[in-house]
Structure 1
Amino acid sequence: MRTDLFDYDLPEKLIAQYSVEPRDHSRLMVLDRETGRVEHKRFYEIVDELHEGDVLVMNNTKVFRARLRGGVGERKVEVFLLRERDGLWDVLMQPGRHVSVGDVVKIGDVRGEVVEKADVFRVKFDRPATDLVVFANAHGEIPIPPYVHEVPEHLDQYQTVYATEIGSVAAPTSGFHFTEELLERIRAKGVQIEYVTLHVGIGTFRPVKTDILEEHEMHAEFVAVSEKVAERINLAKQEGRRVIAVGTTTVRTLEGIAALHEGKLVGYSGDVNLFIKPGFEFHVIDALITNFHLPKSTLLVLVSAFVGREHVLSAYEQAVTETYRFFSFGDAMFVRYA
């Protein structure tokens, strides 16, 4: 499938640079999955769209200050920590052209040896992963996307209110719209809230550079769903209650685990590497809360797989006309089904 089928025109002025305050006052487009019909609301009105017995599933990952400034020899480099696995860190370095295997990266009093060089660097640092994250949070920068021009002053400005599990280098931004007060109203309506974890990494934000979607290489990301959470979600499915994913990362967590287990959600902790494209069979989710995504991105492709490309691009065209705010700090969409 051609990547340019998922392109659209977006005026730069519609790229949001900060969240609306209060966050639940952002705009909400409600898109009917079957008909493509659109309604325009405010996010706090999501309560009216939810039914007693619905299960709202959220990604509780927490962002750390993953962007660091360091050096290799006499050269200054930006070091972007992605994830630790098997004692080595996946790292992006900019500029990295002259960095070679065996070089030592220096970041303050931290040292790391470059062990591999491919599309990402593999670096062995001189301290455990937990200690390196503590160092990063003390000395690093908030890893905002390149289309956001000003770094937020505080990390909680690029964090959901329910973030607890440290490990992401980008926020699950569809969760930005929820406030503590809104979550209380949702619970009071009888909606069940469950938490899963996907640590957002390069698999989420890496742009598609191939002309053919199938040639794009996804990167694995760590996910965790407890057995108890899986059991409660499965029970909701059996009882005909809706499972509503908050964000594409939650979709990939639930559907990624199900894809590894013959369509069944189970307790699982480990990597998932899933590129959801049109034609994908969804086994877990019934509805989706998400943001407005970049043209030709894997996230836009995922939403198109769930709703249908024509419905999505038509909705995006209306969003541009109605001057919705786009991307990480932008407005929300609720893909409604039944």
Structure 2
Amino acid sequence: MKVKDFDFYLPEESIAQHPAAKRDESRLMVLQKETGEIEHKKFKDIVDYLRAGDCLVLNNTRVLPARLFGAKEDTNGKMEFLLLKRVEKDTWETLVKPGKRAKIGNRFVFGNGELKAEVVGMGEEGSRLVRFEYEGIFEEVLDSLGQMPLPPYITEQLEEKERYQTVYSKEVGSAAAPTAGLHFTEELLQRIKDKGVEIAFVTLHVGLGTFRPVKVDDINDHHMHSEYYQMSQETADTINRCKENGGRLIGVGTTSCRTIESIADENGKLKEQSGWTEIFIYPGYKFKALDCLITNFHLPQSTLIMLVSALAGKEHVMNAYEVAVKDGYRFFSFGDAMFIHK
């Protein structure tokens, strides 16, 4: 199967540059995965498509304000750092610009010196291993100095940091938001619970590999980036109970989907687990546990549109995307949502 099989025309004006005025007022395309039938709704209407006994799985990761602007200690040359993932306590895999100024042993300073850094090694694809020095709690230092690492296709500044966090975000560690969850409000989640739907949480820390283009022609040659996940026994029990009782397991976002499918055994059973996943889901993949998916509209030729096509069928998905473009749906992180159901 070729990467170009997942291409489609996407005009630049379809890329959402800012969130909807209200989280749950974004649009919702409802796609029946067996028939390809499409309905057009508001996101808050998702309640009408959920049933008592279903289980909704949310990724409670929280985005680090991981973009830092500083200076080289000896020359005062301006530098930009983007934290990708923690390697050990104070050492991070980091993208540094300009890279030629970031050799092993080079030192950098941020703010008024409350954060300092040294390049201690080389990482993958030109990244650097950077060790940070600070007083107090690293996350609090980052909160005061860092900016949200918005995806490269969003060119406008974000006025309110929390709009790039889900309302249930908790576990700090992502380089990007699990964007399907951005549509939920506290009130909407309560309405869903009141309907008898179980809500369970997993954690998958989203890496910037999410935004990296697929550089091979044949999708079988693509190697997925690695992301850290964890699932509690409570969540595993909730999911197992839902499946045993005939409920549908609904992932909120491709990150929840990848976590569930990384952990599920061949019988679709789950248990408490944590680790790193490189699971790559594309058409032909047999889902072990997941039934339905809430997700945003993704990039052409991306691993995410391949995952969605594995669940709903490539023809149904590519048709739905064509309809979405014609009908003015907003794409990507701050865009509209799709509910793939059965």
Same fold (TM over 0.5): yes
- 2:22 and 2:208 mapped to 1: Cα distance? 30
Partner in structure 2 of residue 277 of structure 1: 282
Match of 1:144 among 139, 150, 157: 150
Number of equivalenced pairs: 335
Residue 318 of structure 1: aligned partner: 323
Alpha-carbon distance in structure 1 between the residues aligned to 2:134 and 2:314: 46
- Deviation beyond 6 Å, 4+ runs, structure 1: none
Tell me which amino acid in the other structure corresponds to 1:207. P
Aligned to 1:164: 170
SS at match of 2:214: coil
> Map of 1:44-59 to 2, 5 A cutoff?
44-59=44-59
Which residue of structure 2 lines up, in the alignment, with residue 39 of structure 1? 39
Indicate the residue corresponding to 2:97 in structure 1.
94
C-alpha separation in 1, matches of 2:80 and 2:221: 29
Matched, 1:186 2:189: no
Whichever residue aligns with residue 4 of structure 2, its letter is D
Within a 5 Å distance, the mapping from 1:224-243 to structure 2 comes to 224-243=230-249
Q: Which runs of 5+ in 2 are unaligned?
A: none
Structure 2 letter corresponding to 1:299? L
- Distance in 1 separating the partners of 2:209 and 2:287: 20
Match for residue 133 of structure 2 among 126, 133, 152: 126
**TM value normalised by structure 1:** 0.94
Q: Deviations over 1:116-148 (max 9, x none)?
A: 2231211222259x8332211111111111111
Q: Which of 307, 322, 331 in structure 1 is aligned with 2:336? A: 331
1: CA distance between counterparts of 2:207 and 2:71?
A: 23
What CA deviation, in whole Å up to 9, does each residue of 1:175-227 have, x standing for no partner?
A: 11111111111111111111111111123222222222233332211111101
- The answer to which of 52-61 and 270-279 deviates more is 270-279
Matches within 5 A, 1:245-264: 245-258=251-264, 264=269
What is the DSSP-based 3-state SS (H/G/I as helix, E as strand, rest coil) of the residue aligned with 1:235? helix
Q: Secondary structure at the match of 2:99?
A: coil
In 1: Cα distance, 2:132 partner to 2:25 partner: 43
Hey, what's the Cα distance between the residues in 2 that align with 1:308 and 1:116?
43
CA–CA distance in structure 1, aligned partners of residues 196 and 269 of structure 2: 25
Task: Show the 5 A alignment for 1:279-298.
Answer: 279-298=284-303
Question: Which residue of 75, 78, 81 corresponds with 1:79?
Answer: 81
- What fraction of aligned residue pairs are identical, expressed as a percent? 50
Amino acid aligned to 1:78:
E
| Deviation readout 1:7-28 (Å, 9 max, x if unpaired) | 1101111111112122111111
Measured in 2, the distance between the counterparts of 1:193 and 1:37 equals 27
| Unmatched tracts of structure 1, length 5 or more | none
What are the Cα deviations for residues 141-173 of structure 1, in whole angstroms up to 9, with x where unaligned?
Answer: 111111112221221111111111111111111
SS of the equivalent of 1:126 reads: strand
SS in 1 for 2:147: coil
User: Deviation string for 1:50-98 (max 9, x for gaps)?
Assistant: 0011101101111121000123353322100111123421111122144
